[in-house]
């Protein structure tokens, strides 16, 4: 990966973080719920038995409603030491 690509990706990450941080708590919750619903409608999600996800930190998208609604699936969450 070129240095320019890495720099562009980092700039996009920082811009996304700033945008998320500027949203109200209610807007963040509503956006997370909409994203969960969108993912739940994907064919690949519906067919999957095991799903890798993450636990949200700070202003990240909260996928925990998706986990709760589809608790019959096997959810895999990485653990950072």
To the question of pTM greater than 0.85 for the whole model, the response is no
- Checking if the pLDDT of 6 tops 80, the result is no
- pLDDT tier, 76 (very low <50, low <70, confident <90, very high otherwise): very high
Say what the pLDDT of residue 77 is.
96
Whose tokens are 């999957």? That residue is: 48
Strand partners, 52: 76
Contacts of 74 (CB under 8 A, 6+ apart): 49, 50, 51
Residue-level pLDDT at 50: 98
Q: What is residue 27's predicted lDDT score, i.e. its pLDDT?
A: 96
Q: What is the pLDDT of residues 22-69, one digit of tens each?
A: 999 999 999 999 999 999 999 999 999 999 999 999 889 999 999 999
């Amino acid at each position: 990966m070129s240095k320019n690509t890495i720099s562009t990706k980092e700039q996009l990450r920082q811009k996304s973080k700033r945008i998320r941080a500027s949203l109200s708590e209610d807007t963040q919750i509503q956006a997370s719920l909409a994203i969960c619903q969108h993912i739940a409608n994907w064919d690949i999600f519906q067919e999957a038995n095991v799903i890798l996800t993450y636990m949200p930190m700070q202003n990240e998208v909260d996928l925990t409603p998706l986990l709760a609604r589809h608790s019959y699936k096997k959810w895999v969450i990485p653990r950072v030491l």
